[in-house]
Amino acid sequence: MFNSSAFLPDSLIVRLTDTRVNDPEFSWRAAQARVRRPKLAPAGKLNILAADHPARRVTKVGDDPLAMASRRDYLARIVRVLQSGRVDGVMATMDLIEDLLAMDGLLKERGARPMLDNKVLLGSLNRGGLAGASWEMDDPVTGPTSATCHAWKLDGTKLLMRVEDNEAASLKTMLACAQEITAANALGLPTFLEPLPVNRTDKGYVVVKEKGALAKLAGVASALGDSSRLLWLKLPYCEGYEVVARSTTLPILLLGGESAGDPSPFLRQLGSALQAGPSVRGALVGRNVLYPGGEDPLAMAEAAGGIVHEGWSVEEALQSMAGVRGSALDGVSRYFPA
């Protein structure tokens, strides 16, 4: 079981808050100094960690309703995943990106290797559609804008666009997404758009994971904004994923959804999706990597990255975990001893 308290010591968490109080521009300076990769996807594929759920009031993992509400545990898992050379980067809200930038700067001051150099950093823009709220389908940009992401030298932006045909607020969200795609295009920033068909039920909004619904909405998403030249899509897996893969020439990254508590289901979906067509180019997944049951998040990240970047079979990916599990657990704590 991954021990976040041992991996990310109290002393570093204290320094993060002290830095916010005493030197609030520290993360900005770290962003300006960060070495960026010259090309977004050098080999044409991406394996990116998603870490923007708490900003939409989504904190539940398994039976724990507040698992992602612990910022220390959440940060520890994100940093653990970023230790993987097969993880291209992270998509997150600005508060988390600032924490990661500050942490990277503090570690480098003590001689650690850079954590974020040559990693992809994506800013999550619209988190206003709070889970369970009466306005949930109205999802305006409440985080950074495309201009903010450009100023912070991030590598792209991410937008969520859920569509419920009987909710007029979905149109507001669609318009907000179109405007930010156009704005990002003007700055040369790639946009990662997550178009999800949803149905309203007694238990809230449920994603429709059906090939026809996903393929139709992919066609709508591909046409948003003034140009699709820098647009990527983030779509869930479903049976008959070949239909979804054929619905667009835009690159598609697979999302993971709620944690299965077991590495196998998502890795099998990822392997199957990558075989569905040439438009499927990797994964942009959060909870299934950060909270893989009793597995080490680094082992899960390496396994997914092996499937994406090395062409591993699912069996090879699962077998690889034993060699990674529990390795380099002092990668942070040795620089910030308790």
The single-letter DSSP state of residue 54 is G
| Rounded distance between C-alpha atoms, residue 169 and residue 171, angstroms | 5
pLDDT tens profile 25-80: 999 999 999 999 999 999 999 999 999 999 999 999 999 999 999 999 999 999 99
Structure tokens at 112: 């650690």
**How many DSSP H helices and E strands does the chain contain?**
13, 9
CA quadruple 105, 66, 84, 329: dihedral sign? positive
Tell me the backbone φ, ψ of residue 329, rounded to 5 degrees: -70, -10
pLDDT tens profile 26-38: 999 999 999 999 9
Q: Confirm if 308 and 274 have CB atoms less than 8 A apart.
A: yes
| Rounded distance between C-alpha atoms, residue 315 and residue 317, angstroms | 5
Q: Confirm if 274 and 280 have CB atoms less than 8 A apart.
A: yes
Residue 46: helix, strand or coil by DSSP? strand
Terminal Cα-to-Cα distance of the chain (whole angstroms): 20
Domain-located, residue 129: yes
Angle at 154 between CA 282 and CA 5, to 5 degrees: 75
Q: Where are the alpha helices (DSSP H) in 232-286?
A: 241-245, 263-274
Give the number of domains in the chain: 1
Please give the pLDDT value at position 262: 86
Domain-located, residue 248: yes
Structure tokens at 274: 């990558």
Rounded mean pLDDT of 90-108? 98
Please give the pLDDT value at position 258: 83
Tell me the backbone φ, ψ of residue 303, rounded to 5 degrees: -65, -45
CATH number for the domain that contains residue 279:
3.20.20.70
CA quadruple 113, 109, 89, 39: dihedral sign? negative
pLDDT tens profile 217-242: 999 999 999 999 999 999 999 999 99
What global pTM score does this model have? 0.96
E runs forming strands in the chain: 46-51, 89-92, 120-124, 156-163, 191-201, 204-207, 231-235, 252-254, 280-285
3-state secondary structure 63-105: CECCHHHCHHHHHHHHHHHHCCCCCCEEEECHHHHHHHHHHHH
Tell me the backbone φ, ψ of residue 123, rounded to 5 degrees: -90, 130
Structure tokens at 332: 């942070």
Instruction: Give the range of the structural domain holding residue 52, as residue numbers without chain letter.
Output: 4-324
Q: Estimate the share of the chain in helix, then strand, then coil, as percent rounded to the nearest 5.
A: 40, 15, 40
Domain-located, residue 317: yes
Please give the pLDDT value at position 261: 80
Please give the pLDDT value at position 338: 72
Q: Confirm if 154 and 124 have CB atoms less than 8 A apart.
A: no
Q: Confirm if 277 and 245 have CB atoms less than 8 A apart.
A: yes
pLDDT tens profile 153-193: 999 999 999 999 999 999 999 999 999 999 999 999 999 99
Please give the pLDDT value at position 73: 96
Domain-located, residue 337: no
Domain-located, residue 336: no
Specify the length of the chain in residues. Answer: 338
| Rounded distance between C-alpha atoms, residue 247 and residue 211, angstroms | 10
Q: Confirm if 23 and 64 have CB atoms less than 8 A apart.
A: no
Helix (H) or strand (E) holding 325: none
Domain-located, residue 334: no
Domain-located, residue 155: yes
Please give the pLDDT value at position 92: 98
Domain-located, residue 301: yes
Q: Which of 290, 293, 253 is nearest to 269 (CA)?
A: 253
